Amino acid sequence: MTDAPVPRIEVRDLTVVFGEDERRVVAVDAVSFRVEPGASFGLVGESGSGKSTVLRAICGLSPVAGGQILIDGKPLDLRRDRAFTRQVQMVFQDPYGSLHPRHTIDRILSEPLAIHGFRDRETRITGALADVGLDPAFRFRLPHQLSGGQRQRVAIARALILEPTILLLDEPTSALDASIQAEILNLLSRLRREKNLTYLFVSHDLAVIDHMCDRLLVMKGGRAVEELTEGALSHRRVESDYTRALMKASEGFVRPAGAA
């Protein structure tokens, strides 16, 4: 009998609290889950459910009041160091706000390489752009000269350029038109296969999570409602009324053409 693989991400009873006394808000309340290497795990729920706060807590951007976060079986320190940022990268929801408006794409992609001391800058930049389907000519454009989909491709290239093993994806397509959403979802699916990436994917849309993820956790009001496999969701084997309501709200979703 072989031992089970160490989870790439493990969250144990995570609690995130903002404010004190009468202003105290429990944004995440004792949430637990695990993501195996190479898997894609979804967090889904309405606005205010705590799903994005979980990602921010993993990155060290939200205060952890209780519980534990482990990467490859090792608990995270209070401060996230360079080794963490090499391994874990985040793609944010808004491709308009996540890129510096006065920096060229070349500079946006160069900065993480300089911070981490990489010398093969040319190779990595052209390779990262090719990975996301952008021509090298985009290097010297400014973000406002790109479409929303192109900007999100640049954001994904920036996340990939340090060769992480984990991508935290916070509603990466919700700010895009429907046709562009399909392109970005297909791109992310391909990249996960080709680079053996592990995804933690946040969305309010249960159908998007169903398409992108092997397993998912439904959240409401900072708490875990139920955890489902892709098969259970596809066959409507759910237990909570809240999950059924999310399913009904997502019924208009059409799987991207050519998606696996």
pLDDT at 258 over 60: no
Q: What type of residue sits at position 194? A: E
The residue-averaged pLDDT of 35-53 equals 94
Sign, Cα dihedral of 193, 198, 203, 209? positive
Query: In the chain, where are the structural domains located?
Result: 9-249
Query: How far from 201 is each of 106, 223, 260, CA to CA, in Å?
Result: 27, 17, 17
**Residue 91: beta bridge partners?**
169
Tokens 């390489």, residue located:
113
The residue-averaged pLDDT of 5-25 equals 93
Average pLDDT, the chain: 89
From CA 227, how far away is CA 205, in angstroms rounded? 15
Of 41 and 237, the structure prediction assigns the larger pLDDT to: 41
pLDDT above 90 covers what percent of the chain?
Answer: 67
Closest alpha carbon to 197 in 41, 45, 84, 82: 41
Q: What is the pLDDT of residues 175-207, one digit of tens each?
A: 788 888 989 999 999 999 999 999 999 998 888
pLDDT at 51 over 70: yes
Closest alpha carbon to 249 in 241, 260, 259: 241
pLDDT of res. 235: 75
Helix, strand and coil content of the chain, in percent to the nearest 5, comes to: 40, 25, 35
The residue-averaged pLDDT of 71-88 equals 91
pLDDT of res. 35: 97
**CATH of region 9-249, choose from 3.40.50.970, 3.40.470.10, 3.30.830.10, 3.40.50.300:** 3.40.50.300
Q: Which helix (H) or strand (E) holds 241?
A: helix 241-249
From CA 169, how far away is CA 173, in angstroms rounded? 9
pLDDT of res. 2: 55
Q: What is the pLDDT of residues 236-256, one digit of tens each?
A: 788 888 888 888 777 654 444
Give the 3-state secondary structure of residue 208. Answer: helix
pLDDT at 9 over 90: yes
